[in-house]
């Protein structure tokens, strides 16, 4: 959020964004706390999903564009505190390796907001996973019910302009990591083998 505001200040100074676009983005930033509350209100549903997958040995996280780093963060958080092997991939690369791993024992989390310009391609990725009997948990936007009949579980976040979407789509992944780790009896605040603060060289 701070980096976004910094970028907007630079854009205003350099006149690289129209004034109305800067104003629009600042209003979105003001609305983010309320949107975060909306996502957090789904914590019970996310906890229920976590119970289903608490014994999974592997997870795959996929996203395109802005959502690819979210997939990486989701995989990192899950492996860090639940000790489940998890990998984040750009969904565009699915046919170049990850698809070979898909079966009924590989849950796939697809981050696919409908406002994403590559949404249709993400839908095609989901269909490929379903065709191989994979379980899909989808993170998409409020009002989008196109994936309900395909995905085992759908979690929705408020609609915001594309650059702000990762702030919201990452929250369900962090919650799921928390609940799965807790259900497995893992220490969430002190993950094994990790230094969460570095005090020596």
Q: What does pTM read for this prediction?
A: 0.90
Confidence of residue 201 (pLDDT cuts 50, 70, 90): low
In this structure, the number of other CB atoms found within 10 A of the CB of residue 72 comes to 17
Mean pLDDT across 97-108: 85
Average pLDDT over residues 149-154: 93
C-alpha 31/C-alpha 27 separation (Å) is 6
Q: Give the domains, in start order, of the chain with CATH numbers.
A: 2-39 (no CATH), 42-183 (3.40.50.10490)
Beta strands in 43-197 (DSSP E): 58-63, 85-90, 107-111, 135-141, 153-157
Task: Determine the pLDDT at residue 137.
Answer: 96
Give per-residue pLDDT as tens, 19-50.
Answer: 999 999 999 999 999 999 999 999 999 999 99
Confidence of residue 64 (pLDDT cuts 50, 70, 90): very high
Q: In the β-sheet with 107-111, what is the strand arrangement from edge to edge?
A: 85-90, 58-63, 107-111, 135-141, 153-157
């Amino acid at each position: 959020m701070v980096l976004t505001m910094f970028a907007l200040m630079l854009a205003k100074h350099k006149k690289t964004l129209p004034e109305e676009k800067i104003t629009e983005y600042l209003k979105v930033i003001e609305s983010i706390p309320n949107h975060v509350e909306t996502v957090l209100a789904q914590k019970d549903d996310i906890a229920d999903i976590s119970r289903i997958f608490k014994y999974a040995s592997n997870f795959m996280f996929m996203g395109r564009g802005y959502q690819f780093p979210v997939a990486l963060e989701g995989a990192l958080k899950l492996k860090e505190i639940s000790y489940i092997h998890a990998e984040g991939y750009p969904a565009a690369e699915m046919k170049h390796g990850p698809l070979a791993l898909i079966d009924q024992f590989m849950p796939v989390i697809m981050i696919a907001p409908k406002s994403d310009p590559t949404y249709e391609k993400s839908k095609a990725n989901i269909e490929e996973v379903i065709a191989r009997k994979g379980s899909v948990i989808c993170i998409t936007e409020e009002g989008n019910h196109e994936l309900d009949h395909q995905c085992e579980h759908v979690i929705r976040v408020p609609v915001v302009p594309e650059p702000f979407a990762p702030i919201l789509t990452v929250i369900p992944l962090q919650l799921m990591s928390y609940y799965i780790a807790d259900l497995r009896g893992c220490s969430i605040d002190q993950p094994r083998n990790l230094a969460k603060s570095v005090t020596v060289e």
